[in-house]
Amino acid sequence: MKNTVLMTKTQIQVRFSDVDSMGVVWHGQYIKYLEDGREDFGNKFNINYLDFHKRGILIPIVKIVCDYKRPLVYGDTATVETRFINCEAAKIQYEYAIYNNKNHDLIATGSSTQVFLNLNHELMLGFPRFFIEWKEKHGLLEEVNKFNLS
């Protein structure tokens, strides 16, 4: 795969209701922060779930991983870095890193994997055409795959 890196930086603000009784952001809340990053990426690069949905493709999450390094507390703001991982399988993969804006500490890392379903909810084993074209447009397609497209 080529070296183009697509990445967004998304600002998040810790809500009072994000914080648990230990005084830190509840670990499950980070799944929303990852989604904030992924949605922001999708909006910027025109590859959000609605872009797929209007082409008859669903992109459910099939795997989430989150590693917690340091806590966030009420009042903190943070940056979610969302990187598109250009994998060869028929999947959409992102990696995430969350940094505290105050001191640039790494707060958490994570990853998500999505697959393609048609509207009958059947797994699509190949890349949807829309996704191949999207990859090509962003310089993420290998020569061999470009050949297959034509």
List residues binding a second copy (CB under 8 A).
15-17, 19-24, 26-28, 31-32, 35-36, 39, 49-50, 58, 60-69, 71, 74-75
Smallest gap from Cβ 147 to a second copy, in A, equals 34
Could you give the count of Cα atoms lying within 13 Å of 103 in the half-sphere of its Cβ? 6
CA distance 73 to 19: 7
β-bridge mates for residue 126, sequence order:
none
Smallest gap from Cβ 142 to a second copy, in A, equals 28
Smallest gap from Cβ 50 to a second copy, in A, equals 7
CA distances from 4 to 12, 42, 107 (A): 26, 17, 25
Give residue 139's Cα distance to chain centre.
Answer: 18
Nearer to a second copy, 101 or 148 (CB): 101
Smallest gap from Cβ 129 to a second copy, in A, equals 22
Show the CA angle centred on residue 20, arms to residues 10 and 71, nearest 5°.
50
Nearer to a second copy, 3 or 23 (CB): 23
Nearer to a second copy, 5 or 62 (CB): 62
Nearer to a second copy, 22 or 144 (CB): 22
Tokens for 144? 């061999």
